[in-house]
Structure 1
């Protein structure tokens, strides 16, 4: 089933990045970057393919360690429809009722599974409010510094925060738009809503 696969792949492409960010440039920073982090939330993807508008929605859980990332996509009825595990050596996709698919990396896996690559390589950083801008500089999001165009052609807009007044606010909603995809999918927007962290 290509729809849940697309959502899961969009979420998990991030796991290939395991570099530790440099010190943020802004004093009004988000929480410090964490190699190990757990997130949950909702995702909506709107895209055009071959001139046809498509829309996908789901919820997700995200667990990352220093080198591995595990992403689960959950249907509105509460069933896990896809799981992706990414390690430094491979990326594996397991869809409900199907044999796992494995490739050396996530880009190869997306190309094999979809016929085109979905290069969302920064999401591991984006969920925490960090990115690399179009000039290769480290970007740190904050309520006063809430959008950037990344080096690989994505526009990130940090629309809302878990707590705007917190000394180190954490992202709540991120709108992501592909600026210049140049592939089969020629128009793509992703909306991510991150649930508040558990206390």
Structure 2
């Protein structure tokens, strides 16, 4: 009986050790090149938006393919808020009524139609935990971005998860003046 209890305890401890796995120091720096070369990916997340006029919780689906992307936002009952796509230099937004809008700048298009200040172009990098060249960055004890200050935005990375050997953000807060975004990523897919 004692041996069985010891084996159960060892199995339990090994399970805890696996769950508590942490990135080795400097691992983000080692994967930075891989992140920069990660051009095809998709994710699902919950997005909280807080502005002076409203607050809401949305579901976010993002698919990236090189410089092209699709960003789909739906409300809690699954109704489309908007579907934003970029192909080449063309940016299109399909609103909740199914009407198509076009522009050259995604952020300005979203602002004009929703009043939300979303850093759409930067998000494709920040979501991966990859700061831009001119961004001011602080790092956590594992060498991963902890905060980024850029383009008037302040980002805080609140969690990372390991996907196919890469440490990718799982939760982040973004603040710009009176706009606050909370992103909780539930699923990452590479390739």
TM-score (norm 1): 0.67
Larger RCO (alpha carbons 8 Å, 6+ apart): 1
> Which residue does the alignment assign to 1:161?
160
SS of 1:122's equivalent in the other structure is: helix
Higher relative strand content = 2
Aligned to 1:197: 188
In the alignment, structure 2 segments of 5+ residues that lack a partner are 1-24
**Unmatched segments (≥5 aa) in structure 1:** 1-25, 179-185
CA contact (8 A) 1:90 1:106 kept: no
Change (3 A) 1:58 1:111: closer
Distance 2:79 2:92 in 1: 19
Shift of 1:118: 4.2
Q: For residues 130-145 of structure 1, what are the structure 2 equivalents within 5 Å?
A: 130-132=130-132, 136=134, 144=142, 145=144
* Corresponding position of 1:175: 173
- Aligned: 1:103 with 2:103: yes
Instruction: Report the equivalent of 1:14.
Output: none
**Match of 1:130, SS?**
coil
Q: Distance in 2 between matches of 1:106 and 1:198?
A: 24
**Alignment partner, residue 123 of structure 1:** 123
Aligned to 1:188: 179
Rg bigger for which structure? 2
- Give the TM-score taking structure 2 as reference length: 0.69
Q: Aligned partners of 1:106 and 1:88: how far apart in 2?
A: 12
Residue aligning to 1:72? 72
- Indicate yes or no: 2:150 matched with 1:151: yes
Residues 1:103 and 1:122: Cα distance change in structure 2 (over 3 Å): same
- Does 2:47 match 1:43? yes
Would you tell me which structure has more helix in proportion to its own residues?
2
Displacement of 1:139 after TM fit? 5.0
Q: CA RMSD in A?
A: 3.1
Alignment match, 1:93: 93
Report runs of 4+ in structure 1 exceeding 6 Å deviation: none
